[in-house]
Chain A
Amino acid sequence: MSWTKKILRVNLTEGTCTPEPLNMEWANDYLGQRGLATKYLVEETDPTVDPLSPENKLIMATGPLTGTMASTGGRYSVITKGPLTGAIACSNSGGFIGNEFKNAGWDMIIFEGKSPSPVYLYIENDLAELRPADDLWGKSAWEADEMLHKIHQNPELKIAVIGRTAENGCLFSGVINDLHRAAGRSGVGTVMASKNLKAVAVYGTQGVDSLDNPEAFDKAVADGKEVLAENAVTGEGLPTYGTQVLMNVINSVGGLPARNMRDVGFEGAEHISGEAMHEPRPSDGKPNLTTNGACFGCTIACGRISTIDKTHFSIRDKADQKQYQGASGGLEYEAAWALGADTGVDDLDALTYVNFVCNEDGFDPISFGCTVAAAMELFEAGKITTEDTGGIELKFGSAEALVAVTEQLVSGEGIGPDIALGSKRLCEKYGEPDLSMSVKGLEFPAYDPRGFQGIGLNYATSNRGACHVRGYTIASEVLGIPVKTEQTDTDGKPELVKAFQDATALVDSAGICLFTTFAWGMENIAPQIDAACEGDWSVERCLEVGERIWNMERIYNNAAGFTADDDTLPKRLLKEAIKSGPTAGQVNRLGEMLPKYYEIRGWTPEGVPTSETLARLGLD
């Protein structure tokens, strides 16, 4: 099996780092990464634990394909109980640190307790120890990354680190690795900060050499790469235009939310689209997009590397801040939507600057953009005033306001501490809870549930709140992958959502990127897992493991206090019809889909897995 079969348990309270064997029985049932780490969390913590208390645990986990030659095989996840939602949290990241954990000989790291003072974990192969991080605390993720590279004088050192927003308690802080990749959603970075853990720095030289059947693995991997290369989406569409190509697509089909989801359709969409990122700008003749980039082992290379116009207001007075002057991680579709369409801002350079800051200080651009959008609606309603904002006219469409609020979030000034709460708590504080566009406290991604019925059901039932990458039915409802379904139909959507959710849980547990599934089906993925791991990993077993993981997460959330009442959408999306465009008149018809979804999941009408379901999945 492509496991090192070794995990590291880090007790931050005691300051100890202890190796222990990987529980292979659990690996057989939950595969790795998301599934396996969640199993450890379920077994070792109380679901009612305060997410920011020492009793919560934080797990960094790889999958069996992480660090192998499988395409995109560099993923890792951060698993914990999330502070933004109180639900299970699992955030997945690419870059180059996941494979480095494997190279150093570790499948997983479990952090428990809380350090009495700031520390970072240093790993060099078998060596693992906590070191003081007093000098790193208070620094941005980018500064801390640079300092750690200088301390260790090793350019190959891979670093996962939190920024200042996490230290300040911002509830949607992530963990940044390789400067601009992120375990971004659900506040996993906030949990890391609560433990006084600033960073993990890892260097390994061992590689993955424990494949179950190397010959079969080479073939399965080569076959998979050929499929990716020949597929028009993964072979050409994603590397050229990245995820941002969706901006105009989603706007055209009547599914792009705007201005805190008050509207559907954004008149400025084309100015912040993937196509716009390719256009030379007047000031220097260069486009926003500098190049594309790839994570470890990836043969798709969808990443955006961008440069901000030096004459743009966001950075023209920051010549001494070199981090904004060169190329860095650029806009992906979700960030461009949340920071742009949802705030009504169509200034591409402003969005790119804010995206840089999200990476620099490690916070989720989706939750941030949506929370600013909610604050803008509260401002326009007179609930938030310039007294609250430190003088900022927080109006929809103002790029200057967006940039100023971003800087306030990092500095902790003005409205920054309120924004740091996320939209749910912000809107409750200002007396308008219905203005929070979130599910279970997690803000929406860039697809309006009124325009796409299936994604609405997925958002409502997603175990980590409103998340598109728990069951990306847009692939079917818009892109025709694997088959086209009508976006405004509810028929067949419960089955579609369940299928996507279960398959995604498996992919997230394997160590590969979800984007492979634009070309790969489970028939392409299962042979790679089967050749890497002991035992028979058929398509059927993979899907069963995915379903088991989904149900395990559900049981955890139910034990944490969630009920069927939480499987819902904001009133706006259930009651206020889309005003114009090709989807005019639509609301999300969740009530038509949810009972059927529970039924095919084998859950009671109250959303609880039945004893038969638990027995079938081995969860009893």
Chain B
Amino acid sequence: MKMYLELYASLMPLLPPGNSRFRREIKVADNATVQDVIDAYKIPADLAHIVLLNGKFVCDDRQQCKLNPGDVLSIWPPVAGG
């Protein structure tokens, strides 16, 4: 199935080539989870800090969090501001 992956800040170099600043359309297995995408794109565990699925925080078990077609998965390393 097709979905979207967004990587921000220092994770941007891990994105495959493409035109958008942060976002890529990617293909994943039909039963893929959030953790599967994190692993597939070699995002270090300690840098997958803010993880959003369609704008909602994925706080609990990423291995159990199933993806659906058209989902937007957005990931940031540890960042802050104010």
Q: A248-B8, A253-B57, A275-B9 are in contact. Are A479 and B21 (CB under 8 A)?
A: no
In-complex Cβ contact of B80 among A254, A275, A475 (8 A): A475
Residue on A with the closest CB to B23?
Answer: A270
CB of A573 within 8 Å of the partner chain: no
CB of B12 within 8 Å of the partner chain: yes
In-complex Cβ contact of B8 among A275, A332, A468 (8 A): A275
Segment of A27-35, A76-84, A102-110, A237-245 in the binding face: A237-245
CB of A396 within 8 Å of the partner chain: no
Check A243–B81 contact: CB distance below 8 A: yes
Chain A 222-249 interface mask (CB, 8 Å, partner B; 1/0): 0000000001111011101111111011
| CA–CA, A480 and B59, complex, Å | 10
CB of A40 within 8 Å of the partner chain: no
CB of B78 within 8 Å of the partner chain: yes
Q: Which residues of B contact A240 (CB under 8 A)?
A: 9-10
Nearest CB on B from A182, distance (A): 15
In-complex Cβ contact of A243 among B21, B76, B82 (8 A): B82
| CA–CA, A231 and B10, complex, Å | 15
Q: A275-B22, A514-B82 are in contact. Are A582 and B9 (CB under 8 A)?
A: no
Q: Which residues of B contact A480 (CB under 8 A)?
A: 49-50
Q: Which residues of B contact A481 (CB under 8 A)?
A: 80
CB of A562 within 8 Å of the partner chain: no
| CA–CA, A480 and B77, complex, Å | 12
Check A252–B55 contact: CB distance below 8 A: yes
Check B82–A242 contact: CB distance below 8 A: no
Q: Which residues of B contact A397 (CB under 8 A)?
A: none
CB of A354 within 8 Å of the partner chain: no
Check A469–B82 contact: CB distance below 8 A: yes
Check B82–A233 contact: CB distance below 8 A: no
CB of B56 within 8 Å of the partner chain: yes
The bracket for how many chain A residues form the interface is 35 or more
Q: A232-B77, A249-B79 are in contact. Are A581 and B8 (CB under 8 A)?
A: no
Nearest CB on B from A173, distance (A): 22
Residue on A with the closest CB to B81?
Answer: A243
Check B79–A515 contact: CB distance below 8 A: no
| CA–CA, A242 and B59, complex, Å | 24
Check B74–A252 contact: CB distance below 8 A: yes
Nearest CB on A from B33, distance (A): 20
CB of A614 within 8 Å of the partner chain: no
Check B21–A276 contact: CB distance below 8 A: yes
CB of A474 within 8 Å of the partner chain: yes
Q: Which residues of A contact B80 (CB under 8 A)?
A: 233-234, 237-238, 243, 245-246, 475, 479, 481, 515, 518
Residue on B with the closest CB to A237?
Answer: B79
Nearest CB on B from A512, distance (A): 14
How many CB-defined contacts (below 8 Å) exist between A and B? 97
Check A245–B79 contact: CB distance below 8 A: yes
Within 8 A of A (CB), among B17-47: 21-22, 46-47
CB of B63 within 8 Å of the partner chain: no
Nearest CB on A from B66, distance (A): 18
Residue on A with the closest CB to B6?
Answer: A252
Chain B 44-72 interface mask (CB, 8 Å, partner A; 1/0): 00110110101111010000000000000
Check A581–B79 contact: CB distance below 8 A: no
Check B22–A484 contact: CB distance below 8 A: no
| CA–CA, A514 and B79, complex, Å | 15
CB of A101 within 8 Å of the partner chain: no
Check A232–B54 contact: CB distance below 8 A: no
In-complex Cβ contact of A582 among B56, B59, B78, B81 (8 A): B56
| CA–CA, A582 and B81, complex, Å | 21
Within 8 A of B (CB), among A455-514: 468-469, 472, 474-475, 478-481, 484, 486, 514
| CA–CA, A270 and B12, complex, Å | 13
Q: Which residues of B contact A274 (CB under 8 A)?
A: 9
CB of A333 within 8 Å of the partner chain: yes
Residue on B with the closest CB to A302?
Answer: B81
| CA–CA, A231 and B78, complex, Å | 9
Check A275–B56 contact: CB distance below 8 A: no
| CA–CA, A70 and B47, complex, Å | 28
Q: A248-B8, A333-B81 are in contact. Are A275 and B21 (CB under 8 A)?
A: yes
Check A270–B21 contact: CB distance below 8 A: yes
Q: A248-B8, A276-B21, A484-B59 are in contact. Are A582 and B82 (CB under 8 A)?
A: no
Q: Which residues of B contact A583 (CB under 8 A)?
A: 55
Q: Which residues of A contact B22 (CB under 8 A)?
A: 248, 270, 275
Residue on B with the closest CB to A334?
Answer: B82
Check B9–A241 contact: CB distance below 8 A: yes
Within 8 A of B (CB), among A579-614: 581-583
Check B54–A245 contact: CB distance below 8 A: no
Residue on B with the closest CB to A484?
Answer: B59
| CA–CA, A408 and B48, complex, Å | 45
Nearest CB on B from A228, distance (A): 12
| CA–CA, A279 and B81, complex, Å | 20
| CA–CA, A240 and B80, complex, Å | 11
Q: Which residues of A contact B52 (CB under 8 A)?
A: 252-253, 582
Check A275–B82 contact: CB distance below 8 A: no
Q: Which residues of A contact B79 (CB under 8 A)?
A: 233, 237-238, 241, 245-246, 249, 479
| CA–CA, A238 and B77, complex, Å | 11
Q: A240-B10, A252-B52, A274-B9 are in contact. Are A515 and B82 (CB under 8 A)?
A: yes
Check A333–B21 contact: CB distance below 8 A: no
Chain A 196-218 interface mask (CB, 8 Å, partner B; 1/0): 00000000000000000000000
| CA–CA, A429 and B9, complex, Å | 43
| CA–CA, A468 and B22, complex, Å | 28
Cβ contacts A to B, 30 pairs, < 8 Å: A232-B46, A232-B78, A233-B78, A233-B79, A236-B77, A237-B78, A237-B80, A238-B79, A245-B9, A245-B81, A246-B80, A249-B8, A252-B6, A252-B52, A252-B55, A270-B21, A274-B9, A275-B9, A275-B12, A275-B21, A275-B22, A333-B82, A334-B82, A481-B80, A484-B57, A484-B59, A486-B57, A518-B80, A581-B55, A582-B55
With A238-B81, A275-B21 given, name 16 new contacts (CB 8 A): A233-B80, A236-B77, A237-B78, A245-B8, A245-B9, A245-B80, A246-B81, A252-B6, A252-B74, A253-B56, A253-B57, A270-B22, A275-B9, A276-B21, A332-B81, A474-B82
- Give residues in B with beta carbon < 8 Å to A: 6, 8-10, 12, 21-22, 46-47, 49-50, 52, 54-57, 59, 74, 76-82
Q: Which 5 residue pairs are nearest across A and B when measured between Cβ atoms?
A: A582-B55, A243-B81, A232-B78, A246-B81, A237-B79
